[in-house]
Chains A and B, each alone.
Chain A
Amino acid sequence: LAKTTQPISMDSYEGQEVNITCSHNNIATNDYITWYQQFPSQGPRFIIQGYKTKVTNEVASLFIPADRKSSTLSLPRVSLSDTAVYYCLVASSGGYQKVTFGIGTKLQVIP
């Protein structure tokens, strides 16, 4: 299982773009990179998933370099409601999946 490393916490002002980088040096060929958002006492919410290059959806972008040893979640123009813990996960598909969470990045958005 690829281990991930991400900053424990980050602060950002409202309206700014936030980039959270995750390192996963031991990522395997068939691993996908997935990011989740979690508010206190709620289940993690899927944000975005990618395998390589760049993925964009209505809430975020995910940048993955060619070596796939890291990835960056980009949140455009954050608001106070984006204050949450963000988890970077690396998991393999192919029938058997065991997802391991780290402690995540606590993002605090400041007015």
Chain B
Amino acid sequence: DAGVTQSPTHLIKTRGQQVTLRCSPKSGHDTVSWYQQALGQGPQFIFQYYEEEERQRGNFPDRFSGHQFPNYSSELNVNALLLGDSALYLCASSLVGGEGETQYFGPGTRLLVL
């Protein structure tokens, strides 16, 4: 049973550039959530996708956008990168209607903005 996978594992970008991160959910899951985790902090919710639509969003600017594909995989796009965007980006998947809708996390993508 494949768990949540994310790519790439590490990424280095410069200020002003754009980045796309990818996530494949756990087998059987239909919902993907994205989180940003700065060093020493807990993960902060960015947004959640279900049925190819964004249905929940945290306190992040419009520079952060996403997409969900028919196979439930998802992308996170960040435009006009800032130094403060350097963080571990986590993807989590869940199943709508599943008990507690438990979220299972991927290994994350480490983004460094120079």
Contacts and interface: CB of A to CB of B under 8 A. Distances in A.
Contacts of A46: 102-105
Contacts of B44: 101
Contacts of B76: none
A61 interface: no
Contacts of A34: 100, 102-103
Nearest to B94: A97
Contacts of B96: 95
Given A41-B110, A97-B56, A91 B43 contact: no
Contacts of A94: 101
Contact of A95 (B4, B43, B92, B97): B97
Interface of A: 32, 34, 36, 41-46, 49, 51, 87, 91, 93-104
A93 B56 contact: no
The secondary-structure label for the interface of chain A is loop
Given A93-B100, A95-B96, A95-B97, A87 B45 contact: no
Interface residues of B, number: 31
Interface of B: 4, 31, 33, 35, 41-45, 48, 55-56, 58, 88, 90, 92, 94, 96-108, 110
A99 B55 contact: no
10 contacts: A32-B99, A34-B103, A36-B105, A42-B107, A43-B108, A93-B97, A93-B100, A99-B45, A99-B92, A100-B45
Contact of A49 (B45, B100, B108): B100
B52 to A, nearest CB: 16
A97 B101 contact: yes
A99 B105 contact: no
A44 B105 contact: yes
User: Counting chain B CB atoms within 10 Å of each CB, which of A34, A45, A93 scores highest?
Assistant: A93
Contact of A87 (B31, B42, B108): B42
Given A93-B101, A101-B42, A103-B41, A42 B48 contact: no
